[in-house]
Amino acid sequence: MTAHETDYHVHTFRCGHAGGASRDYVLAALDRGLSEIAFTDHIPIYFLEGDDPDPDCAMTRAELPEYVDEVLGLREEFRGRIDVLLGLEADYAEGHEDGLREILALHEWDVVLGSVHWVRGAWIDGPGAARRHESEGSVTLWTEYYRLLGKAAGSGLFDVMTHVDLPKKFGNLMPPSCRDAEASALAAIVASGAAVEVSSAGLRKPVGEEYPAPRVLRDLVSQGVPIVLSSDAHAPLEVAWGRDRVHAAARRAGAAEHLSFRRRERRRHTL
């Protein structure tokens, strides 16, 4: 095992809510001393009707090959200086697993992140999400979120489960009565063998806490779940953002290693 600095969750302008040139993300990663950067842009929205159901959330299907070509081009350009990896942040949408499988089969991904953003017919992390906690109820949203997260992990389609307590984004913390739903989802992650990300993104959001919360991360790590380190950057400035805090959170949770991936095969590194 070798010490190794990575960022395993980075977006591009194609998703409609990130900015900057992709090349600048790589330059930022180099500047911050990373050995690897994994581009993991949002998968085209395969579970809603139409070619471009939500331009502010994801690239179109037509843009997917361009995304892949750009990342592979950057890999060549920077070879020997930093490893540029081809990944995807793939939404889990219940009942649409075949559609997801089809897209995952199109290219040779280094890593596939599994995310639950679509909960009860809308985004759980969109601008209106805080209001949803009032109108639909936090218990309902958190319970359904964790049910879907458990199913996502159990699908076996993902290498890494991302931001596993996402509904807290705007400060709507999990009601204590959702503990059983949470426990089932975490048990499904443990059973699946997938890793979880420790992400600085929550530190930049109203909740002001990394994903996942310290208690949740400790629980997962104590059960042998491996971790990857991420920023969920949506701009070059955010690459490796909060890296020291993410490392510290991982260590406090008891983690001694983190993972990297090549063609979906994992490698272990000391933290």
Binding region for Zn ion (CB under 5 A):
115
Tell me how far, at minimum, the Cβ of 113 lies from Zn ion, in Å. Answer: 8
Long-range contacts of 96-100 (CB under 8 A, 24+ apart): 96/46, 96/47, 97/155, 97/157, 99/46, 99/47, 100/43, 100/46, 100/47, 100/157
Q: Which is nearer to Zn ion, 35 or 155 (CB)?
A: 155
Q: Which is nearer to Zn ion, 7 or 269 (CB)?
A: 7
CA distance 184 to 263: 29
Tell me how far, at minimum, the Cβ of 76 lies from Zn ion, in Å. Answer: 26
Tell me how far, at minimum, the Cβ of 47 lies from Zn ion, in Å. Answer: 15
Tell me how far, at minimum, the Cβ of 200 lies from Zn ion, in Å. Answer: 13
Q: Which is nearer to Zn ion, 6 or 12 (CB)?
A: 12
Tell me how far, at minimum, the Cβ of 110 lies from Zn ion, in Å. Answer: 18
Q: Which is nearer to Zn ion, 114 or 150 (CB)?
A: 114
Q: Which is nearer to Zn ion, 115 or 260 (CB)?
A: 115
CA distances in angstroms from 71 to 31, 44, 140, 201, 237, listed in the order given = 18, 16, 39, 22, 18
Q: Which is nearer to Zn ion, 43 or 269 (CB)?
A: 43
Tell me how far, at minimum, the Cβ of 11 lies from Zn ion, in Å. Answer: 5
Q: Which is nearer to Zn ion, 6 or 115 (CB)?
A: 115
CA distance 131 to 66: 36
Residues 6 or more apart in contact with residue 169 via CB below 8 angstroms: 124, 125, 129, 202, 205, 206, 207
